[in-house]
Chains A and B, each alone.
Chain A
Amino acid sequence: MPSIKQNPAAHRLPDFRNLGVMLRLLLGVNLIALAAALTLAPDLLGWLPRYVELAVWVEPMLLASLLLLALLRDLLWRLPYAAAVVLVLALVALQAALLQDFWRFMGFADGGWAALARGALLAAGTVALMLGYFHLRAGALSPAVAEARLQALTARIRPHFLFNTLNAVLSLIRAEPRRAEQALEELAELFRALMRDHRELVPIADEIALCRQYLGLEKLRLGERLQVEWLIDDLPGELLVPPLLLQPLLENAVYHGIEPAISPGLIRIRLSRRGDELAIDLENPVGNGGAHHAGNRMALANIRERLALYYDLEARLEAKEDGGSYKVHMVLPCRN
């Protein structure tokens, strides 16, 4: 089962197919080019024409390399780290030399061994710098650090919920012992899920089942005040998602949207797949006086950070208040 444990290991090349990695490469290489332009320029104002001159060389190189590395990612991952680094450097150097020769062929540049070697060396040097950066970054986000962070971030259920639910179950024991039994069983299952190893991705069907159980328990004490509507567009149940992504959002919706209102409120959850992306939409009424306070912002920031640890820049989370309802929109890449 894929998990963060096997992801950003310090002895591995970065995932060249990840958007965040690509963006960092683009930015990093351009920054180096900018520094070079600044060094080469005769005076401070001369950097822009220099940079444009350099860009003619750098950008095609950069884009071609990104494409190549993305294509070769799986092969590179199978090699030992040192071999993979050497291979990447060699590939980029070769590519630079070929491009240099192509420019000569087009008549834009002089040929000659010296020019070829210089282009190859500069390209390889830049890539070496970038790989060094990724190496350091992976170290900073090493599995141990990232895992500890994930464990700490994984939402803990509100004590408010636990004690109120236990109280509701106690009220059932004499009058409806069967229902009380069932509620306790559900509570046990919910807590088993909450105490699981949170680094593993889980099938989305499991996450949905967990949320239904949670909402069932809330319904026990809130009765008719809690209305829930699920909209699930044909979603493969085995799709993997980070655990406890939806449950804390539902808990917030109940705490801020349903409990402060006297009349029944509807929580609407919609899951849909659009191409390679999974979209999760959540909507709940806003309690009077705009009750979305610090607690809610913290939960959102928390989920955002977890998404970043799992997916870097490829996932996003937005929340907004809109005409009496509060909406959360979350998008994750589908990785199966």
Chain B
Amino acid sequence: MPELKILIVDDEAPARARLRELLGDVAGEVPNRVLGEAGNGLAAIALIEREAPDVVLVDIRMPTMDGIELAQHLAQLERPPAVIFATAYDAYAIKAFDLNAVDYLLKPVRAQRLATALGKARVARPLPTEMLQELQPEGRSHLSCHERGRLLLIPVGEVLYLKADLKYVLARTREREYLLDESLTHLEQEFTQRFIRLHRGVLVAREAIVGFERNGAEDADTHWLALVRDVPEKLPVSRRQWPLVKSYARQLST
């Protein structure tokens, strides 16, 4: 049996040490090698891209980027590693895992149980995306995009607007644009609190709107353009969305 390359992601050092010990204990049964450790999802992604592990052992509750979000970004990789969640107690997640037949470990983890999970991981199917999204009702903290074989992470807070672009979505930050392989409708549902729809093809970050101006072009189907902070582009507001956007803007000015 080829050696399984493993990465451990947990914010608590003792928990990582414990998993290392256990992996050593089951090495006879399931040959494995620990490539490295990370303290949160964000740190893990860089490590995973570089080391290309076969299996990632992921804690659910972590600062900066939790395990659920990490799994969502990993699904974007060309050859994603198998993800095994480990949690001390998270009744909600455990119920979702059970419903979707996703394998997980309960901390404290038993060696035998770990060996079984690693055995199954060799033939693991990708995790169901809908379940992961459901487990994260507040949405992800980062968006991810593929660029020249690398996975780039864009903090959601830095995105000024999102624009449909053929089968992709264009995300604009202050510095540059990114192409995301996602649907605008999904993004709108995931981040209702943060973005507001201006047009069939445009979502803008609520806090990024700085004003509106009349559209000069006579033939235009839209009469108003929204001004966004830090970037020169003006975004069209559709006739249908105008009343909603206007009332939101009024809330802002009062």
Q: Hey, which bits of chain A sit against chain B, CB under 8 A?
A: 158-160, 163-164, 166-168, 170-172, 174-175, 220-223, 259-262, 287, 289
Contacts and interface: CB of A to CB of B under 8 A. Distances in A.
Contacts of A160: 61, 88-90
Given A168-B15, A221-B12, A262-B64, A289 B138 contact: yes
Q: Which 3 A-B pairs rank lowest in CB-CB distance, beginning with the nearest?
A: A171-B18, A163-B88, A168-B14
Contact of B89 (A163, A168, A170, A175): A163
Given A164-B107, A170-B108, A259 B63 contact: yes
A262 B40 contact: yes
A176 B232 CA distance: 60
A164 B108 CA distance: 7
Contact of A175 (B17, B61, B107): B17
A223 to B, nearest CB: 6
B21 interface: yes
A168 B40 CA distance: 18
A168 B64 contact: no
Given A168-B12, A174-B21, A259-B61, A163 B39 contact: no
A280 B17 CA distance: 37
B13 interface: yes
A134 B15 CA distance: 55
Contacts of B109: 167
Interface string B54-77: 000000010110000000000000
A167 B13 CA distance: 11
A261 B63 contact: yes
Contacts of A167: 14-15, 18, 88, 107-109
Interface string B100-121: 0000001111000000000000
A170 B18 contact: yes
Contacts of A287: 63
B15 A164 contact: yes
A261 B63 CA distance: 5
Contact of A222 (B12, B21, B107): B12
A289 B106 CA distance: 27
B63 A171 contact: no
B63 A221 contact: no
Contacts of B14: 167-168, 171-172, 220-221
A167 B14 CA distance: 8
A221 B107 CA distance: 13
A221 B89 contact: no
A94 B15 CA distance: 74
Contacts of A163: 88-89, 106-108
A263 to B, nearest CB: 9
B64 A221 contact: no
23 contacts: A158-B89, A160-B90, A163-B88, A163-B107, A164-B12, A164-B88, A164-B89, A167-B14, A167-B107, A167-B108, A167-B109, A168-B12, A168-B15, A168-B18, A171-B21, A172-B14, A220-B14, A221-B12, A221-B13, A221-B15, A260-B63, A262-B63, A289-B138
Given A159-B89, A171-B14, A223-B13, A166 B63 contact: no
Nearest to B40: A262
Nearest to A158: B89
A171 B17 contact: yes
A236 B18 CA distance: 43
Contacts of B21: 171, 174
Contact of B39 (A159, A168, A260, A262): A262
A168 B88 CA distance: 11
Given A160-B89, A171-B18, A287-B63, 6 more contacts: A163-B89, A167-B18, A168-B12, A174-B21, A260-B63, A262-B40
Contacts of B90: 160
Contacts of A168: 12, 14-15, 18
A166 B12 contact: no
Interface in B1-54: 11-15, 17-18, 21, 39-40
A172 B12 CA distance: 13
A220 B90 CA distance: 21
Interface string B76-102: 000000000000111000000000000
Contacts of B11: 259, 262
Chain A CB within 10 A, most for which of B21, B40, B108, B138: B108
B86 to A, nearest CB: 9
A172 B15 CA distance: 10
Nearest to A220: B14
Contacts of B64: 262
Interface in B130-171: 138
A178 B108 CA distance: 20
B23 to A, nearest CB: 13
A295 to B, nearest CB: 12
Chain B CB within 10 A, most for which of A163, A166, A168, A171: A171
B169 to A, nearest CB: 23
